Structure 1
């Protein structure tokens, strides 16, 4: 210990060690707080963490088969792909936090085999998506590339690709693609867009700023995360107001009663939440059977990887705050900011309420600032009076007509009274 303290900077080895990993095993404390099965692949293992698990073995044959198709079509020997991955094997190993010794040292060849096989498997599928065509060397009823499989199987593979423990570094894909392209390395943008088009086709097209797509993503989950959290501008803490603090939001139904209007944002980025002049703009979000799994892995990535930020976590806290019951879900659906494909609105409300357990909001986040602005607006009396009048008299035409008629009748009564007593005072 004395020798360590005598070094000029004894913490530098630790700093380098903790900056390298980007693929993590979900710790037990997080498993116990959420759902362990949400982090387990269902169909295919990618990378070493889940390789060889019994329920995933049926896909191993197909991974090797797709890898051989890619190698044969490239016209390059398999040894050339293996040699290329060996050159970057150390960097690839460093991406995995706590990688077991059975994949390192003398066993590095085993690790290289997994990177080549899994990387080629992903390249084959993503190339098919990018080109819109299935390579001609696959049979019409191929178990992976048939029309039936694309409809029934690919959604599960895409879901497994965004699990925090089930990742392959994009460096491996770029290296394999360089060999396939006669030694010409594809640009970072090409790899990022190819991955984005596969894991989140609705969000990746035209939504990623240049500064994001020009830097090679860490792995498919990282690209997926950026698709949901990208904006052309960034949040600046300098925009905070003095005295701002974390505030709890009212539910959506209560906000409407306080005069807040809901509007769909221009993008689907979780960062695209604004409040201006009584209008709360929110991104459209679609909730389905895989949403819980998706959100849990995105939030786990943010918790485990320091540079991932906390945009998804902040968004979930925000949604948990404004959704208390199925009434709030129904309101958000009517405003076009939520699509619910679950069995009921109650199920959607329970989903957001469960996802918000055990997470905290960064007081410097944009969401915290938005909540503060909404809270300040709701404390003003005039918006509440306007909203109360509209909800009472404007939501139904007959109620409005009855109100107008009552006002007219009251006015006529007052006029009649005035004209009745005026002659008396004139006479006197």
Structure 2
């Protein structure tokens, strides 16, 4: 046993009391948990890092770290909630300022853009509207736009303020037509609408009257140049490169000093874009005539008699459709979506390819019409209008399909037609067969390239086969194909009667068989009933 004096006991007692006071003081300065009430004097100001409890030892360091961590969590939670509230407020303002019913100029969906060369959706020569304004590759056309605007003002003896002020009135309506928010300021947006719109109208009127009649030199590098004009026509049917048609209506009304020129603008647009129509129906004598003398049926046809057209691509699309009362547009959000409205190639397979249909006894004939969608099937004969496929056909079809996929207020007739042709064409052999019957003519490198074009054009598209305008034709063709005796007759025709010599051989064989049968009959008959 070790003896402990009274002095030592007193020292240990004082040390214990001092430690107890130190621990109680540190507990009072420790930060409270979130949500616990604070004393009144501590609610006004939070302790700063310099005011952290100065406690020595390991316990003091742990308490300091916990305090810093809790403050960081509070800061992060505040920033997160602020971000969420800002996004909700942005969505509210966007919903208030958006008019979904006016949208008509869309950005091509990424899933469609991935399928083909991006050039099929991007203008190569001229930008129209805000989407591609200022792109470096398209800046060379800007000085020519200003030349066209100056020529128009000199010809009409008008002031530019007349057009700017008038377009200011349409600015909000024009902005609502674009799917992607336009970040341009008001003055710049109005400038683009006037400059690009007048440039388009100068092209339209130049094709109608002749560019020299409008004051342009016959050797002008843009106005009247065939090569440049073809590239501009191609760019003008790009979905992302459109100007609202009511903007062109207003600008033309100001030029002519005549209001309500909607039908005239549509007619001018159709005449300008006429070379892009993928049909061959004009005779050689017609092609030698000047454009202004052609009384093409489309020129007198207003594609939207009961409603306002949207833009040049919409006008051109409606001119390609059947000249009949169009079916009601598919408003997908007003009804239950059908189960087969999916991007499924198995459900889009509605008819067999051309070679299979030929083997089933179906005949193909060219139908004489300028509307390439007008297809008929009667008495085993499939009549299809002639289709011309060239370099401009690819962007035309891809942009028409993209517009029908994006715009819920239009029918899907172009998509239905192209899906039908995709079913027809599986390989170069199908293309060659259709070409031999005058249904497809192309300027591409080979038949395989044409087959690849149609096989890609309707991939990943939403297509409702039950609402196709060709639904009855699909059923009639399938019913004819499913009859087996059609296959047998066709096989007999192509296998045994594929040449005149085969027919002669077959007749001779039948005749010989008949004579042999008669000889055998009379031999047997004479044996049992000999002559008296």
TM-score normalized with structure 1 length? 0.87
1:224 aligns with 2:298: no
The farther-off stretch of 246-255 and 298-307 is: 246-255
Contact 1:188 1:213 in 2 (8 A): no
* Residue 241 (structure 1) aligns with: none
* Residue 369 (structure 2) aligns with: 267
User: Structure 1 residues 359 and 424 mapped into 2: Cα distance closer, same or farther (>3 Å)?
Assistant: same
Q: Distance in 1 between matches of 2:191 and 2:486?
A: 64
Q: Distance in 2 between matches of 1:214 and 1:138?
A: 37
| Displaced runs of 4 or more, over 6 A | 13-16
* Residue 384 (structure 2) aligns with: 282
Choose from 191, 198, 204 the match for 2:265. 191
Q: Distance in 2 between matches of 1:83 and 1:337?
A: 51
Contact 1:199 1:224 in 2 (8 A): yes
Q: Distance in 2 between matches of 1:124 and 1:319?
A: 37
* Residue 158 (structure 1) aligns with: 233
Q: Distance in 2 between matches of 1:53 and 1:164?
A: 17
Aligned pairs for 1:245-394 within 5 A: 248-362=350-464, 363-394=466-497
Q: Distance in 2 between matches of 1:384 and 1:212?
A: 44
Which is greater in Rg? 2
Q: Distance in 2 between matches of 1:76 and 1:366?
A: 48
* Residue 112 (structure 1) aligns with: 190
Q: Distance in 2 between matches of 1:268 and 1:308?
A: 22
Q: Distance in 1 between matches of 2:462 and 2:470?
A: 12
Unaligned runs of 5+ in 1: 1-9, 238-243
Please state how far the C-alpha of 1:315 moved relative to its aligned partner.
1.7
* Residue 134 (structure 1) aligns with: 212
1:399 aligns with 2:502: yes
Contact 1:302 1:309 in 2 (8 A): yes
Contact 1:270 1:312 in 2 (8 A): no
Please state how far the C-alpha of 1:136 moved relative to its aligned partner.
5.3
Contact 1:247 1:375 in 2 (8 A): no
Q: Distance in 2 between matches of 1:87 and 1:406?
A: 86
The farther-off stretch of 366-375 and 294-303 is: 366-375
1:37 aligns with 2:129: no
Contact 2:112 2:460 in 1 (8 A): no
Q: Distance in 1 between matches of 2:99 and 2:529?
A: 99
Tell me the SS of whatever aligns to 1:68.
Answer: helix
Please state how far the C-alpha of 1:367 moved relative to its aligned partner.
2.8
1:68-87 deviation digits (Å, cap 9, x = unpaired): 11111112112212222222
Q: Distance in 1 between matches of 2:366 and 2:98?
A: 43
User: Structure 1 residues 360 and 377 mapped into 2: Cα distance closer, same or farther (>3 Å)?
Assistant: farther
Contact 1:193 1:213 in 2 (8 A): no
Tell me the SS of whatever aligns to 2:200.
Answer: helix
User: Structure 1 residues 14 and 230 mapped into 2: Cα distance closer, same or farther (>3 Å)?
Assistant: farther
Choose from 58, 70, 92 the match for 2:140. 58
Q: Distance in 2 between matches of 1:319 and 1:211?
A: 24
1:172-202 deviation digits (Å, cap 9, x = unpaired): 11111111112x1253221111101111355
Tell me the SS of whatever aligns to 2:365.
Answer: strand
Tell me the SS of whatever aligns to 1:308.
Answer: coil
Unaligned runs of 5+ in 2: 1-91, 280-294, 330-339, 341-346
Please state how far the C-alpha of 1:312 moved relative to its aligned partner.
1.7
